[in-house]
């Protein structure tokens, strides 16, 4: 696997954690999430990546959608985290911390040769 592919897979794996965290902070809509993640550089995810994830999180019961009128067009579908989504976020957060600590310990071992 090429380095770029590995980075893309790693980013995709962390995206669910980040999306749930963003929505937990405040209800928001899909494109606002895209913009927020783009501002964070390596976490950038385009609409083609984000919207399928949002649909899956809704289908899984982690997010709920509701319409909010928009002055600039049709109503926007805002997303809010559900209790199931909050529990999932906490599990993902704990797993992420455990994983990154293990990787940091591994990298601290130095050169194994």
What are residue 24's DSSP bridge partners?
none
Q: Which two tokens stand for residue 13?
A: 């794996």
pTM, to two decimals: 0.84
Q: What is the pLDDT of residue 111?
A: 63
Give me the domains of the chain, ranges plus CATH numbers: 3-108 (1.10.10.10)
- Element housing 2 (H / E): none
What strand order describes the sheet that includes 28-29? 28-29, 73-81, 63-70
At 38-85, the pLDDT tens digits run 888 777 677 788 899 999 999 999 999 999 998 888 899 999 999 999
Please give the sequence-ordered ranges of beta strands (E in DSSP) within the chain, or none if there are none.
Answer: 28-29, 63-70, 73-81
């Amino acid at each position: 696997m090429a380095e770029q592919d590995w980075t893309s897979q790693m980013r995709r794996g962390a995206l669910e954690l980040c999306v749930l965290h963003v929505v937990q902070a405040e209800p928001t809509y899909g494109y606002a999430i895209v913009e927020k993640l783009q501002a964070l550089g390596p976490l950038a995810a385009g609409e083609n990546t984000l919207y399928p994830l949002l649909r899956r999180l809704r289908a899984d019961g982690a997010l709920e959608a509701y319409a909010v009128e928009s002055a600039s067009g049709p109503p926007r579908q805002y997303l809010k985290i559900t209790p199931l989504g909050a529990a999932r976020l906490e599990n993902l957060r704990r797993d992420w911390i455990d994983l990154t600590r293990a990787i940091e310990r591994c990298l601290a071992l130095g050169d194994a040769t």
